[in-house]
């Protein structure tokens, strides 16, 4: 049971505030929340906070704080789920979630909240159901244009016809003006995998973890059936065998309740009649056993002269993707010993960039081609630690605070598990002549690819 719900910008300005029960405080709770959040000691979790008999539970999403307050000992799983569902809903209805879209669509957001929550109890969060009750139309910042390729969003990329849709194509409200609905018959399907890896300093692999999702954003009329064909060699669990090859194996799979699995056993086809808006069709996990080699290997060498305080780090990054693939927005983050003052660098290509930021080395590689090898040589001065000269410690040992290196990157058109969408077929036939557009994209990304030095 929820007492209040509010949305704050990343700077703490209240954007939306709604009190459902009138049983607690006034509007100043939003301010109180932000003050508490920013004043929290580092080892305490901000997820659930308490103030005078009131619990604050929040998520951070797209730079916003979505917060609920309650005075009861509620289910944290349920509330967090509700908050992230709300975030998706607001995204569906406003086009995308962000400070700008929320403040432009205040009326719509309040209308939605009115329908979703009644006296603090959840009524429904289905995009489809809500469509019947929502009257306000979303205000979109600028008309959608095919030529706008600047911003990077989640959905949208290549189609099977290898035409390209702008990344922002999916960032539009589900409830767009009823007049021009015919041209908006589009479906976006994303296979997104999140990779987390830990590699020991001797190069041995300590941990690989892939969290995958098939996400769908549909602008088709609700209830129109579609069939998603997955790789036929897709196996679940360690023991299942399919096809003659090594198979595409995942450890666990869960499906959205809308998915009909009649054809899954035989042909690996998912059938569903999705409502408009965003939906996670399938989630899967895979650990320890990747079918393809890891995308990156790092070969570091460190020279450390304790006497002069000169630290030299040579990093060689090899990309083991297939030759035709590439990695984008690769960033290497290497924590450095405390007090590093200067940095000189020699990079293997001009488009790279390296700098010191927050006590760490940041090496940006906008584009890395499969099979290529890039390197950087970095020289730094580390001030000598105060106190007596140390003895008993070998001078060749790297200084304290160096490493581990962590990489973040995106791999377009690549899934680490090897899972692919074979086809996306729609049963929907529009009355006009415009065939619905289907956009299918595969993407892997990582923000936790850690290599010990």
Partner 1 sequence: MSQKKRQKPVVWVEQILLKMLPHQDEEEPASYRGSSGSCLVTIRKMPYLGSEDVVKELKKALCNPHIQADRLRYRNVIQRVIRYMTQGLDMSGVFMEMVKASATVDIVQKKLVYLYMCTYAPLKPDLALLAINTLCKDCSDPNPMVRGLALRSMCSLRMSKLDQWGQAEVLNFLLRYQPRSEEELFDILNLLDSFLKSGSPGVVMGATKLFLILAKKFPHVQTDVLVRVKGPLLAACSSESRELCFVALCHVRQILHSLPGHFSSHYKKFFCSYSEPHYIKLQKVEVLCELVNDENVQQVLEELRGYCTDVSADFAQAAIFAIGSIARTYTDQCVQILTELLGLRQEHITTVVVQTFRDLVWLCPQCTEAVCQALPGCEENIQDSEGKQALIWLLGVHGERIPNAPYVLEDFVENVKSETFPAVKMELLTALLRLFLSRPAECQDMLGRLLYYCIEEEKDMAVRDRGLFYYRLLLVGIDEVKRILCSPKSDPTLGLLEDPAERPVNSWASDFNTLVPVYGKSRWATISKCHGAERCGPELPKTSSFAASGPLIPEENKERVQEVPDSGTLMLVPNLQLTADYFEKTWLSLKVAHQQVLPWQGEFHPDTLQMALQVVNIQTIAMSRAGARPWKAYLSAQDDTGCLFLTELLWKPENSEMQISVKQNETRTETLKSFISVLETVIGTIEEIKS
302: which 2 tokens? 């460190």
Query: Is 387 a binder of partner 1 (CB under 8 A)?
Result: yes
Nearer to partner 1, 35 or 338 (CB): 338
The yes or no reply on residue 126 touching partner 1 (CB under 8 A) is yes
Cα distances (Å, whole numbers) of residue 410 to 9, 190, 325, 330, 418: 27, 14, 11, 7, 15
What residues pair up with 224 in beta bridges, in sequence order? none
Which tokens in the block code for residue 342?
A: 């200067």
Considering only residues 135, 257, 266, 433, which one is a binding residue for partner 1 as defined by CB under 8 A? 257
Enumerate residues 273-312 that contact partner 1 by CB under 8 A.
Answer: 283, 285, 287-288
Task: Figure out which of the listed residues 24, 136, 196, 379 binds partner 1, where binding follows CB under 8 A.
Answer: 196
Site string for partner 1, 390-429 (x = CB under 8 A): x-xx------xx--x-x-x---------------------
Long-range CB contacts for residues 352-356, cutoff 8 Å, separation at least 24? 352/376, 354/378
Q: What mask of x and - would describe binding to partner 1 in positions 147 to 186, judged by CB under 8 A?
A: ----------------------------------------
Q: Binding of partner 1 at residue 77 (CB under 8 A)?
A: yes
Pattern 212-241, partner 1, x by CB under 8 A: ------------------------------
> With binding defined as CB under 8 A, does residue 338 bind partner 1?
yes
Give the binding range for partner 1 (CB under 8 A) out of 181-189, 226-234, 322-330, 382-390: 382-390
124 lies in the site for partner 1, by CB under 8 A: yes
Determine the size of the site formed for partner 1 (CB under 8 A). 73
Q: 108-144 burial by CB neighbour count: b if 16+ within 10 A, else e? A: bbebbbebbbeebeeeebebeebbeebeeebebeeee
Give me 188's structure tokens: 């976006």
- Out of 45, 150, 202, 342, the only residue in the binding site for partner 1 (CB under 8 A) is 45
Q: Helix crossing, 106-116 with 76-94: angle to 10°?
A: 140
The total of other beta-carbon atoms located within 10 Å of residue 98's CB is 19
Q: Which C-beta is closer to partner 1: that of 335 or that of 412?
A: 335
Q: How many other CB atoms are there within 10 angstroms of residue 332's CB atom?
A: 25
Give me the phi and psi of 183, to 5 degrees please: -80, -5
Least distance to partner 1 from the beta carbon of 401, Å?
A: 5
Nearest CB to partner 1, comparing residues 169 and 451: 451
Q: Output 73 or 179, the one with its CB closest to partner 1.
A: 73
3-state secondary structure of 446: strand
Q: Which two tokens stand for residue 264?
A: 């899954």
C-alpha pair distances (Å), 196 with each of 81, 96, 209, 211, 329: 23, 27, 5, 8, 17
Smaller CB separation from partner 1, 52 or 180: 52
Closest distance of CB 78 from partner 1, Å: 3
Please state whether beta strands 437-451 and 186-199 pair in parallel, antiparallel, or not at all (unpaired).
parallel
Single out the residue of 346, 402, 416, 408 nearest to residue 374, CA to CA.
346
Min CB(39)–partner 1 separation in Å: 15
Q: Which of 22, 26, 63, 78 binds partner 1 (CB under 8 A)?
A: 78
Q: Which of 15, 32, 74, 343 binds partner 1 (CB under 8 A)?
A: 74
**Residue 203, interface with partner 1 (CB under 8 A)?**
no
Q: Residue 207 Cβ, how far from partner 1 at the closest point, in Å?
A: 4
Instruction: By CB under 8 A, name the one of 143, 388, 395, 433 that touches partner 1.
Output: 388
Residue 359 sits in the site that holds partner 1 (CB under 8 A): yes
CB of residue 380 to partner 1, shortest distance in Å = 15
Q: What is the H or E stretch that residue 357 is in?
A: strand 353-357
Residues 424-453 that bind partner 1 (CB under 8 A): 447-448, 450, 452
| Residues in CB range of 287: below 8 A, 6 or more apart | 207, 208, 209, 210, 251
Residue 80 or 343: the one with the smaller Cβ distance to partner 1 is 80
One of 82, 86, 235, 290 touching partner 1 (CB under 8 A): 82
The C-alpha R_g of the chain, in whole angstroms, comes to 25
């Amino acid at each position: 049971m929820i007492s209040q719900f509010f949305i704050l910008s990343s700077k703490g300005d209240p954007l939306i505030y709604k009190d459902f029960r009138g049983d607690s405080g006034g509007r100043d709770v939003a301010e109180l929340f932000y003050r508490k959040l920013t004043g929290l000691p580092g080892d305490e979790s901000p997820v659930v906070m308490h103030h005078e008999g009131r619990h604050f539970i929040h998520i951070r999403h797209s730079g916003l704080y979505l917060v609920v307050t309650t005075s009861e000992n509620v289910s944290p799983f349920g509330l967090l789920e509700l908050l992230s569902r709300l975030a998706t809903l607001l995204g569906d209805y406003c086009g995308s979630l962000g400070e700008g879209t929320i403040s432009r669509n205040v009326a719509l957001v309040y209308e939605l909240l009115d329908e979703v929550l009644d006296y603090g109890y959840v009524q429904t969060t289905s995009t489809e159901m809500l469509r019947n009750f929502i009257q306000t139309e979303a205000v979109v910042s600028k008309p959608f244009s095919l030529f706008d390729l600047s911003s990077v969003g989640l959905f949208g990329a290549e189609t099977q016809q290898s035409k390209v849709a702008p990344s922002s194509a999916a960032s539009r409200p589900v409830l767009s003006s009823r007049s021009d609905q015919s041209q908006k018959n589009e479906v976006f399907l994303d296979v997104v995998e999140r990779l987390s890896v830990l590699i020991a300093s001797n190069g041995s692999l300590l941990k690989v973890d892939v969290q995958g999702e098939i996400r769908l954003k549909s602008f088709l009329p609700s209830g129109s059936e579609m069939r998603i064909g997955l790789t036929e060699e897709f196996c679940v669990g360690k023991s299942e065998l399919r096809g003659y090859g090594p198979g595409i194996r995942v450890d666990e799979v869960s499906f959205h309740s809308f998915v009909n699995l009649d054809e899954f056993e035989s042909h690996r086809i998912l059938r569903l009649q999705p409502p408009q808006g965003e939906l996670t069709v399938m989630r899967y996990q895979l650990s320890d056993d990747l079918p393809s080699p890891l995308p990156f290997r790092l070969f570091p060498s460190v020279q450390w002269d304790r006497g002069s305080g000169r630290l030299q780090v040579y990093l060689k990054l090899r990309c083991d993707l297939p030759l035709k693939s590439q990695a984008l927005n690769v960033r290497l983050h290497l924590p450095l010993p405390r007090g590093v003052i200067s940095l000189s660098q020699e990079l293997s290509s001009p488009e790279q960039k390296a700098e010191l930021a927050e006590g760490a080395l940041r090496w940006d590689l906008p584009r890395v081609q499969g099979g290529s090898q890039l390197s950087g040589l970095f020289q730094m001065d580390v001030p000598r630690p105060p106190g007596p000269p140390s003895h008993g410690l070998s001078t060749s040992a790297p200084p304290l605070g160096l490493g581990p290196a962590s990489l973040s990157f995106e791999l377009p058109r690549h899934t680490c598990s090897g899972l692919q969408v074979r086809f996306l077929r729609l049963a929907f036939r529009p009355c006009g002549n415009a065939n619905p557009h289907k956009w299918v994209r595969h993407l892997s990304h990582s923000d936790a690819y850690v290599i010990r030095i």
